[in-house]
């Protein structure tokens, strides 16, 4: 017995999968926003360091969850696509780096 799947049925299946994917992405984005709101970084400290070209020591958690201590000289705060970034010179890597603010655990 051969079954025929109509193109309209395939279209509805794809539409439903796309709807489920959007729901999943929206729920993940909501949980990310809630976690970033709960962590408060002292923006005044960062802004003063930018203005004075002074050094900060941060504890940073990368994408993979590895924690590192870094000494940085911040240059600019950037807000892009609902995420805050800090562009700074990293003394550990001896290069300009971009740090996500929500991944900074501690600033000294």
Q: What is the pLDDT along the chain (108 residues), one digit of tens a residue?
A: 555 566 666 666 666 666 655 555 455 444 444 444 435 577 888 889 999 999 999 999 988 889 999 999 999 998 888 888 999 999 999 999 999 998 999 998
Distances in Å between the Cα of 80 and the Cα atoms of 62, 76, 77, 105 are 18, 13, 10, 20
Q: How far apart are CA 12 and CA 20, in angstroms?
A: 12
Sort 104 into a burial class: Cβ within 10 Å, 0-12 / 13-18 / 19+: buried
pLDDT of residue 34: 44
């Amino acid at each position: 017995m051969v079954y025929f799947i109509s193109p309209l049925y395939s279209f509805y299946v794809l539409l439903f999968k796309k709807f489920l994917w959007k729901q999943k992405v929206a729920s993940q984005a909501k949980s990310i926003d809630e976690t970033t709101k709960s962590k408060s970084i002292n923006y005044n400290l960062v802004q003063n360091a930018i203005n004075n070209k002074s050094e900060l020591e941060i504890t940073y958690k990368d994408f993979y969850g590895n924690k590192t201590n870094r000494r940085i000289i911040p240059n600019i705060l950037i807000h892009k696509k609902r995420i805050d970034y800090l562009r700074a010179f990293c003394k550990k890597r001896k290069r300009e780096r971009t740090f996500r603010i929500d991944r900074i655990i501690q600033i000294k």
